């Protein structure tokens, strides 16, 4: 049964969605899903100067990748369509007019040059110019003119904006579901522009009108919007509308805890800040994304969910369904949440460890295909089984286990120095003779055969195994040797041993 709870994610398509934005969408989604409510995507694109082509598609694709779905959206439609503010532009003017008629807003004819001069003059006195109850008395606006003068200016086509008239000597009292009661004196607020000279509403007006018309019950958004809350609450009062409940989410902080995690930080600090990779359409600048870096969306979402919220238990791994069940706004913290890139990799590893083997093998096959490597499909499951404990990402199974797919091109010098002795070549030649005769080339048989070889010849296990590993792998890493030999097969194993003896004998001679 659908409840009356209605929430919205309302991004502005001004660029790729930052992971903080994904978290906002996620918390809205969790809250709506838990209450059987409705989740709405509304595109807030009234600021034409900040519009970035491709950004809306990016947002939609990124949220779909994360498994965040909408009940009403530009693509899906719904009872309050359209869901793109640029397509609703005709609607906003009447609301701006309504506020003017009721005395809550006024026309301001000050030109950008005049305002700039006032700002400069204030700056020169180390002050900030604010359009407010004090300054508006002397500025070029309808509060200081007769109705005829105002009409004449508008009829003459004089550009104007509509500003909200902040009530004087008053306080705004607000309740935030995360922060509790917030009280602000109206003296600290400025007369924000609601409607611009280009005939478009500003964010503030369009946002409130749409939240009202779309019957939004809970506004869950980032802390950066908290300073706008008093204005929004005053707007609801001015319209005589019931305000939704508000919840302002804590900021995401940089890993060192110093300041907000910005769009710029990511690649500079060595991790993505965007869900998907993005190429700026104007500058061509590329930014990395979690998807392309090899993260599972489930791991990314799990990590984000815990960035500012916790279940109050030790549990860290949550599926989306479990998050829906466990989430609560009461357990969202007030203070900033520090992003931890190492922990993010850890989350991915946890999801890799619980992945079904066949699925993991399929993912590895895609990595190999992309590299143009052909490999027997039946060996991919055992490779994944052997390697999954050692990596954080599927692509690392290839990187850390490249020896499964390609013969070593070089041999780790340190290891050669330590492990390749005068007599190693002769011992390996002897071993070749035994291996060539082996009828069964699978792990248990190979283990027995190697052991027999070592005992028969009175050799040291370490010396034999280390030298052999060097020839097969090129370094002293990787899982159990007989597993590697079984996977690459008899022919390839012998080929690598021959080639290695050849190459390493040359180096020891030189
Ligand atoms: N369009 C605003 C943004 O880009 C929405 C803020 C809000 O949720 O009210 O974040």
CB 190 within 8 A of CB 208: no
- How much is the pLDDT for 506? 78
In the reported structure, the alpha carbon of residue 457 is separated from the centroid of ligand 1 by a whole-number distance in angstroms of 75
Atom 6 (ligand 1) nearest CA: 10
Ligand 1 closest atom vs CA 11: 4
Ligand 1 closest atom vs CA 232: 9
Percent of all residues in the chain with a pLDDT value above 90, rounded to a whole number: 94
Q: What does DSSP say about strands 180-185 and 218-222: parallel, antiparallel, or unpaired? A: unpaired
pLDDT at 168 over 90: yes
Tens of pLDDT, residues 357-408: 999 999 999 999 999 998 888 999 999 999 999 999 999 999 999 999 999 9
Q: What is the average pLDDT score of the chain?
A: 96
> CA torsion sign, 58 to 63 to 65 to 66?
positive
| Whether residue 225 has its Cβ less than 6 Å from ligand 1 | yes
Q: What does DSSP say about strands 6-9 and 337-338: parallel, antiparallel, or unpaired? A: unpaired
In the reported structure, the alpha carbon of residue 270 is separated from the centroid of ligand 1 by a whole-number distance in angstroms of 28
| Whether residue 221 has its Cβ less than 6 Å from ligand 1 | yes
- How much is the pLDDT for 510? 45
| Distance (Å, whole) CA 59 – CA 18 | 10
In this prediction, residues 286-307 reach a mean pLDDT of 97
| Distance (Å, whole) CA 299 – CA 432 | 46
Q: Which residue has the tokens 């390609």?
A: 406
CB 178 within 8 A of CB 334: yes
Name which of 363, 351, 361, 280 is nearest 316 in CA terms.
351
Tens of pLDDT, residues 457-492: 999 999 999 999 999 999 999 999 999 999 999 999
Q: Comparing 29-33, 128-132, 258-262, which segment has the lowest mean pLDDT?
A: 258-262
Q: Which residue has the tokens 């710029």?
A: 264
| Distance (Å, whole) CA 111 – CA 200 | 17
| Distance (Å, whole) CA 17 – CA 28 | 15
Say how far residue 108 (Cα) sits from the centre of its chain: 41
| Whether residue 96 has its Cβ less than 6 Å from ligand 1 | no
| Whether residue 401 has its Cβ less than 6 Å from ligand 1 | no
Tens of pLDDT, residues 134-165: 999 999 999 999 999 999 999 999 999 999 99
- How much is the pLDDT for 267? 80
pLDDT band at 2 (very low <50, low <70, confident <90, very high): low
Ligand 1 closest atom vs CA 219: 8
Q: Out of 93, 260, 263, 379, which one is annotated catalytic? A: 263
In the reported structure, the alpha carbon of residue 231 is separated from the centroid of ligand 1 by a whole-number distance in angstroms of 14
Total Cβ atoms within 10 A of residue 103: 10
Name which of 327, 424, 462, 475 is nearest 30 in CA terms.
327
Name which of 60, 31, 90 is nearest 209 in CA terms.
90
Tens of pLDDT, residues 497-510: 999 999 998 765 54
Pocket test of ligand 1: the residue of 11, 24, 231, 243 to mutate, having most ligand atoms within 8 Å of its CB, is 11
In this prediction, residues 42-46 reach a mean pLDDT of 96
pLDDT at 72 over 70: yes
Please provide the size of the chain in residues.
Answer: 510
DSSP assignment of 117-162 equals HHHHHHHHTT-----STTGGGGSSBGGGS-HHHHHHHHHTT---EE
Ligand 1 closest atom vs CA 203: 1
| Whether residue 419 has its Cβ less than 6 Å from ligand 1 | no
Max intra-chain CA distance, the chain: 112
Name which of 83, 24, 29 is nearest 56 in CA terms.
83
In the reported structure, the alpha carbon of residue 411 is separated from the centroid of ligand 1 by a whole-number distance in angstroms of 55
| Whether residue 11 has its Cβ less than 6 Å from ligand 1 | yes
| Whether residue 46 has its Cβ less than 6 Å from ligand 1 | no
The conformation of residue 195, written as its DSSP 8-state character, comes to: E
Name which of 259, 208, 200, 268 is nearest 233 in CA terms.
208
The conformation of residue 373, written as its DSSP 8-state character, comes to: -
Atom 10 (ligand 1) nearest CA: 11
Say how far residue 254 (Cα) sits from the centre of its chain: 14
Ligand 1 closest atom vs CA 221: 8
Give the tokens for residue 407: 């013969």
Pocket test of ligand 1: the residue of 202, 207, 228, 231 to mutate, having most ligand atoms within 8 Å of its CB, is 207
Tens of pLDDT, residues 75-115: 999 999 999 999 999 999 999 999 999 999 999 999 999 99
| Whether residue 165 has its Cβ less than 6 Å from ligand 1 | no
Total Cβ atoms within 10 A of residue 311: 17
Please give the model's pTM, rounded to 2 decimal places.
0.93
Ligand 1 closest atom vs CA 9: 8
Strands (E), 223-370: 245-249, 252-253, 278-279, 286-287, 337-338
Name which of 306, 294, 278, 255 is nearest 17 in CA terms.
278
Tens of pLDDT, residues 256-290: 999 999 988 878 888 999 999 999 999 999 999 99
Total Cβ atoms within 10 A of residue 312: 10
Give the tokens for residue 485: 């030999």
Residue 418 annotated to the active site: no
Q: How far apart are the first and last CA of the chain?
A: 80
pLDDT at 1 over 80: no
| Whether residue 228 has its Cβ less than 6 Å from ligand 1 | no
Give the tokens for residue 353: 């460890």
DSSP assignment of 357-369 equals HHHHHHHHHHHHH
pLDDT at 118 over 90: yes
| Distance (Å, whole) CA 473 – CA 459 | 21
């Amino acid at each position: 049964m659908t409840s009356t709870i209605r929430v919205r994610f309302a991004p502005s398509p001004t660029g790729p969605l930052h992971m903080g934005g994904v978290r906002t969408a996620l918390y809205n989604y969790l809250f709506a899903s838990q209450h059987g409510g409705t989740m709405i995507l509304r595109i807030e694109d009234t600021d034409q100067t900040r519009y970035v082509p491709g950004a809306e598609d990016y947002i939609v694709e990124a949220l779909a990748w994360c498994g965040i779905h909408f009940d009403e959206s530009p693509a899906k439609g719904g009872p309050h369509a359209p869901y793109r503010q640029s397509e609703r532009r005709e609607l906003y003017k009447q609301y701006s007019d309504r506020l003017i008629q009721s005395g809550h807003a006024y026309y301001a004819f000050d030109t950008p040059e005049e305002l700039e001069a006032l700002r400069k003059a204030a700056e020169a006195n180390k002050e900030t110019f604010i359009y407010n109850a004090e300054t508006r008395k002397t500025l070029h606006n309808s509060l200081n003119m007769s109705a005829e003068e105002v009409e004449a200016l508008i009829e003459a086509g004089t550009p104007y904006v509509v500003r909200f008239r902040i009530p004087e000597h008053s306080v705004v009292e607000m309740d935030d579901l995360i922060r509790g009661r917030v009280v602000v004196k109206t003296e600290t607020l400025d007369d924000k522009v609601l409607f611009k000279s280009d005939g478009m509403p500003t964010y503030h007006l369009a946002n409130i009108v749409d939240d009202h018309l779309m019957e939004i019950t809970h506004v869950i958004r980032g802390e950066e919007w908290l300073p706008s809350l008093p204005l929004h609450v005053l707007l609801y009062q001015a319209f005589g509308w019931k305000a939704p409940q508000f919840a302002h989410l804590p900021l995401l902080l940089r890993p060192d805890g110093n300041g907000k995690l910005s769009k710029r930080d990511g690649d500079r600090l060595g991790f993505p800040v965007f869900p998907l990779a993005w190429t700026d359409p104007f500058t061509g600048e590329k930014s990395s994304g979690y998807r392309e870096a090899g993260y599972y969306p489930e791991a990314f979402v799990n990590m984000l969910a815990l960035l500012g919220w916790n279940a109050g238990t030790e549990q860290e791994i949550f599926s989306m369904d479990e998050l829906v069940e466990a989430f609560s706004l009461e357990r969202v913290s007030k203070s900033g949440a520090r992003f931890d890139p190492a922990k993010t990799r850890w989350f991915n590893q946890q999801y890799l460890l619980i992945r079904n083997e066949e699925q993991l093998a399929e993912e590895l096959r895609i990595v190999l295909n992309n590299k143009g490597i052909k490999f027997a499909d039946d060996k991919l499951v055992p490779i994944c089984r052997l390697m999954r404990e050692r990596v954080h990402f599927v692509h690392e199974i290839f990187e850390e286990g490249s020896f499964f797919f390609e013969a070593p091109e070089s041999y780790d010098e340190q290891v050669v120095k330590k492990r390749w002795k005068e007599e190693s070549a002769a011992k390996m030649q002897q071993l070749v003779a035994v291996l060539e005769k082996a009828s069964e080339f699978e792990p248990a048989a190979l283990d027995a055969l190697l052991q027999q070889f070592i005992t028969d010849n009175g050799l040291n296990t370490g010396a034999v195994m280390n030298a052999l590993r060097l020839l097969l792998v090129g370094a002293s890493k990787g899982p159990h040797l007989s597993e590697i030999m079984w996977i690459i097969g008899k022919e390839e194993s012998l080929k690598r041993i021959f080639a290695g003896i050849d190459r390493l004998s040359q180096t020891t001679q030189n």
